Structure 1
């Protein structure tokens, strides 16, 4: 049946419309003037916004993808994040064995049709720099190999997006070019690359940066590094706005430097603690604790986050001093454009009906994925 939503504050991915209407049927947004016989929902002024797209999700609901690279675990992770407005994502495998990368690619290839919230896979590593390893396990780090190429190809052949985070200084220019030519999205992360190395990589297929500022060479007066390259070029940048990974002044500085926010993307880098009651877990044999929203090892090393996407949106408004619309775009329209998903990130006729209902104070009340609702 056609559903008609009335009296909503509609952010369509570009603009906000007040006392607006939106209709959808069979999982697609349609012109509300063509709704005909329908079920009507009065939003009483609540927000209706595009579903959030998180391109870096390591876990959720008590599950870590590295521990359980299977379809059931991916569904658990997606369900945990949906409660916070994330209607689609790239499950993220951090640095691990070739066997696990291949296994995850096979899981996606066989299960993609049954997982509408899963848009592909993000391989964060293993081709990163041990000098900027963070919580990643150094013993799994290695040069680009056939396992990565085959894994990426399987994901792409199944119709998914494949994002690879790597350290450009640890690969050849031909390697980066090959991944890009294959169809992968190539981001720099966990890198100690100089600005010159980054510029050369950008000219040969490097698309952007993973969790900008974190685990990469910072700006110095005579060596701008990866951060300097990111802030002075027209590239994609993801950032973690949880109050722990970045100081609020850095968030504000970054968004000020990148005044065109159309290629800035919010990510959670979430661990299994999001949507779970247990706030500790094991990774590579290390115990990770989530305390006050911060995930860290016992020696204080940051280890992903305990962040959900609606919190990231609110934090970005407050810390970045940007509009609600800008923060919403960073969580929806921008990642959709990165992934070349013209059916996502907006709520205009023809869009997939992936949506979030928010109170005026930005509390998630309901979500829809392909028109199927969950209420909270």
Structure 2
């Protein structure tokens, strides 16, 4: 059988334009082309999509868990594999499993598990997102304040040990516990350094952006708000063009009106991209779970501590895309880009992910015309079928 395959029988969105009466052609793990059906060579292995849509695979840069696994509770390759597999069922073809503020020992174990997962080629695993522990207690959210602390040299060395291992790595920090020099050092090593869980000012945020901070973690949540005299981190995220900005599109963490205002206000070239901030509940019927010894409750689409504090999100990526399209009135093309092209740009991966172009990774999703899931493909391999 030929290694070259063609997916036929569906409309194809390449990240920019739609293709009708065409096929997505890929060989091994890479895309070769989108070809008109009339130009497909004889003998090519054809796979009939039987209608629907072919779109770029989704990229999630903030995923705390899935499939019953929370990274903070299970720092193993098996745990990382389960998280990636759980989200593949909802169209995510690349992700950063995310460790919420924890001890140095737990962080070290997570990094070692991540390195092993990369060695083993876990499908969809890009690298890690360390969300803490170097945050602001004033904007801790559901993070354990007893574990929040300043960044030390050992923390930097641990992160630098990942430099040539992962495809991408993200570190959420607050200026309250990380110096601009430390942030610059990590940024210069190629990491996405992200402002989040911080009560800092616009001017300080701007200084950190100039030092190399690239992203902002879950816009509006756990950060100084936009004020008319002090724009805060929200103002910096929208005003500073170099910053790429994650947002949780569940209608709970951010009101749709606020999301719409942010999308219209954002200066480029940095874009607003979707993150799920998903927890272990995704793909399960769990009613509760534990984080740092505290029970998190699942009710009516919300995950909260006993006092009502939001603790991550209970949403997957295809649901987030549907929300952005339906609740915000975004064209489906833009909603799809927020889940694929824009996170790829933020993660320095726009040369091979986030679109269906020749030479790009063969990461794509087959959807119904109504945006229902049909199948997920990572590196040219079907990893999920409805």
Aligned to 1:344: 353
Mapped partners of 2:304, 2:188: distance in 1:
36
Q: Residue in 1 aligned with 2:285? A: 277
For 1:203, what is the secondary structure of its paired residue? helix
- Please name the residue that 2:10 is paired with: 8
Matched residue, 2:44: 38
Q: Cα distance, 1:310 vs. partner? A: 0.3
Tell me by how many angstroms 1:219 deviates: 1.1
> Who is 1:18 aligned against?
20
Distance 1:334 1:84 in 2: 18
Q: Which range moved further: 324-333 or 27-36?
A: 27-36
Counterpart selection for 2:181 from 174, 191, 201: 174
Query: What is the match of residue 375 of structure 1?
Result: 385
Flag the 1:225–1:23 CA change in 2: closer, same or farther, 3 A.
Answer: same
Tell me, which stretches of 5 or more residues in structure 2 are unaligned?
A: none
Aligned ranges for residues 200-211 of structure 1 at < 5 Å? 200-211=207-218
CA deviation map 1:87-125 (0-9, x unaligned):
110000010111111111112222303213111110001
SS in 2 for 1:115: coil
What is the count of residue pairs matched by the alignment? Answer: 376
Name the stretch that deviates more: 179-188 or 304-313: 179-188
What secondary structure sits across from 1:164 in the alignment? strand
Indicate yes or no: 2:302 matched with 1:324: no
Contact 1:180 1:206 in 2 (8 A): yes
Q: 1:356 aligns with which of 356, 362, 365?
A: 365
Equivalent residues in 2 for 1:1-376, closer than 5 Å = 1-31=3-33, 32=35, 33=39, 36-113=42-119, 114-234=121-241, 235-258=243-266, 263-341=271-349, 342-373=351-382, 374-376=384-386
Pairwise CA distance, 1:286: 1.6
Alpha-carbon shift at residue 60 of structure 1 (Å): 0.3
Distance 1:36 1:163, change over 3 A: farther
The 8 Å contact of residues 356 and 367 in structure 1, kept in 2 or not, is answered as: yes
Show structure 1 runs of 5+ residues with no match.
none
Q: Is the 8 A contact 1:236 1:263 kept in 2?
A: yes
Q: What SS class does the counterpart of residue 20 from structure 2 fall into?
A: strand
1:161–1:184 Cα contact (<8 Å) kept: yes
TM-score, length-scaled by structure 2: 0.94
User: Whole-Å Cα distance in 1 between the matches of residues 269 and 364 of structure 2?
Assistant: 22
Normalization by structure 1: what TM-score? 0.96
Runs of 4+ in structure 1 deviating by more than 6 angstroms, as ranges, are none
Seen in structure 2, the aligned counterparts of structure 1 residues 332 and 35 have a Cα distance that, compared at 3 Å, is farther
